[in-house]
């Protein structure tokens, strides 16, 4: 493999000195880019795009052609694992995901098997290999997965939800079954992420989109516990470098200390927590990734730059900060506003890193 030309993202995740704060955007390959919409059109459905390594590679690289981003992230979906488990995933037009065979009964749970990443999820590892070749060492490639709890919410509900009625009923009334689902998922995620690393992923991120809908007790028992299992189970070194692991629970700002206890390298932080507060509470045990409200990208360039400065000042001097949005970029954002954001991070962060 070509040596990495820009490793500022990996260095920041390990709290090593950098010249400027690295930056990337969650969902940076996405619908706000006209070139993404064009490729998506050619691919067919959203899952057709995910399952085509050449096209997944194409959209992964699109934002890097536009903006000086410090990391690429595999273009894929968090629901590839439940799809590979045979639950019948589809995306209706203008709708969220839907499973034709939701996991509700004891029999449904007992039927769940760990997918072989090099068989049923081969299109993902093929995409990783293709992207690494295409990147040619430009920036590191992030592999990712949904958290077991987050995957379970979709699998048990059968679709997106506001109330989480089915999955919470299982959690409250059949915690034994719920744990069985989560354990199969945690083991599946470990194999999946390890396969991504073997194929070339250089950092890993676990997206816990729905951990924030739980009580503090239930979060620890049903979400964090399985993320800790993943942190312990995944390959942490490849190509002679550490493979950093980032955990991100949306709405999990109250639980950063417990998340840092898992032994992960970095925590994603959404915009409802100040980075100064997050940094003080985690005491340099982990790097922090975040945390601009993605809606700031709807504001004027001047306002975007001001918010970048506020967040840089909130984190303060020294290493350990990866700039990002606090959630995925919204689809109606003007790409030129994304450019202002990325460039502002580089320009305004320099003096936080000078000696």
Q: Does 176 bind a second copy (CB under 8 A)?
A: no
Tokens found for residue 304: 């975007």
The string of DSSP codes covering 261-298 is TTT-SEEE--TTS-HHHHHHHHTTSSEEEEEE-GGGGG
Phi, psi of 97 (to 5 degrees): -70, 155
Which helix (H) or strand (E) segment is 89 a member of? strand 89-91
Separation between Cα atoms, residue 26 and residue 291, nearest integer Å: 11
User: CB 47 → a second copy: shortest distance, Å?
Assistant: 22
The DSSP annotation for 208-228 comes to ETTGGGS-HHHIIIIIIHHHH
Q: Does 40 qualify as catalytic in the annotation?
A: yes
What mask of x and - would describe binding to a second copy in positions 208 to 237, judged by CB under 8 A?
Answer: ----xxxxxx--------------------
CA angle 198, 256, 15 (to 5 degrees): 55
Closest CB to a second copy among residues 54, 277: 277
134 binds a second copy (CB under 8 A): no
Residue 332 binds a second copy, judged by CB under 8 A: yes
Which pair of tokens denotes residue 239?
Answer: 């190509």
- Out of 111, 310, 334, 350, name the contact with a second copy by CB under 8 A: 310
Q: Which of 11, 40, 279, 305 is catalytic?
A: 40
User: By CB neighbour count within 10 A (0-12 exposed, 13-18 middle, 19+ buried), where does 349 fall?
Assistant: buried
For residue 348, the minimal CB distance to a second copy (Å) is 17
Window 280 to 309, contacts with a second copy (CB under 8 A)? 293-296, 298-300, 303, 307
Whether 31 is catalytic is yes
Q: Which of 7, 70, 77, 218 is catalytic?
A: 77
CB of 345 to a second copy, least distance (A): 17
Q: Which of 330, 335, 339, 343 binds a second copy (CB under 8 A)?
A: 330
* Residue from 31, 104, 187, 236 carrying the catalytic annotation: 31
Instruction: Name the active-site residue from 32, 36, 154, 315.
Output: 154
Our finding on whether 324 is near a second copy (CB under 8 A) is no
Q: Which is nearer to a second copy, 32 or 207 (CB)?
A: 32
Min separation Cβ 304 and a second copy, Å: 8
258 in contact with a second copy (CB under 8 A) = no
In the complex, minimum distance from the CB of residue 249 to a second copy, in angstroms, rounded to a whole number: 11
Under the criterion CB under 8 A, does residue 272 sit at the interface with a second copy? yes
Give me the phi and psi of 334, to 5 degrees please.
-70, 125
DSSP string, 94-153: TS-EEESS---SHHHHHT-----TTTTTHHHHHHHHHHHHHHTTSS-EEEEEE-HHHHHH
Residues that bind a second copy (CB under 8 A): 163-165, 168-169, 172-173, 212-217, 251, 253-254, 271-274, 277, 293-296, 298-300, 303, 307, 310, 330, 332
């Amino acid at each position: 493999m070509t040596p990495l030309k820009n490793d500022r993202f990996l260095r920041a995740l390990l709290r090593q000195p950098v010249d400027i704060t690295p930056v990337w955007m969650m969902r940076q390959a996405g619908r706000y880019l006209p070139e993404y919409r064009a490729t998506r059109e050619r691919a067919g459905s959203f899952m057709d795009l995910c399952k085509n390594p050449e096209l997944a590679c194409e959209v992964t690289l699109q934002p890097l052609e536009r903006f000086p981003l410090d990391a690429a992230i595999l273009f894929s979906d968090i629901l590839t694992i439940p799809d590979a488990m045979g639950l019948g995933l589809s995306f209706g037009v203008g709708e969220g995901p839907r499973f034709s065979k939701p996991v509700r009964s004891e029999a449904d749970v007992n039927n769940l098997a760990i997918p072989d990443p090099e068989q049923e999820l081969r299109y993902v590892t093929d995409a990783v290999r293709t992207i690494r070749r295409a990147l040619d060492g430009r920036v590191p490639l992030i592999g990712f997965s949904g958290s077991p709890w987050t995957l379970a919410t979709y699998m048990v509900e059968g679709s997106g939800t506001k109330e989480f009625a089915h999955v919470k009923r299982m959690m409250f009334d059949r915690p034994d079954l719920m744990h069985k689902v989560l354990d199969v998922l945690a083991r599946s995620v470990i194999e999946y992420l390890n396969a991504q690393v073997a194929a070339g992923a250089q950092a890993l991120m676990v997206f816990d989109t729905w951990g924030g809908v739980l009580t503090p007790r239930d979060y620890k028992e049903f979400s964090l516990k399985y993320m800790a299992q993943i942190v312990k189970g995944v390959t942490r070194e490849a190509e002679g470098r550490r493979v950093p692991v980032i955990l991100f629970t949306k709405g999990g700002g109250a639980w950063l200390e417990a998340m840092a206890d898992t032994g992960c390298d970095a925590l994603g932080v959404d915009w409802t927590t100040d980075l100064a507060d997050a940094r003080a509470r985690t005491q340099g045990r982990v790097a922090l990734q975040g945390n601009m409200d993605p809606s700031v990208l709807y504001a004027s360039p001047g306002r975007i730059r001001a918010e970048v400065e506020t967040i840089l000042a909130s984190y303060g001097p020294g290493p350990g900060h990866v700039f990002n949005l606090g959630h995925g970029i919204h689809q109606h954002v003007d790409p030129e506003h994304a450019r202002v954001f990325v460039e502002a991070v580089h320009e305004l962060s320099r003096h936080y890193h000078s000696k």
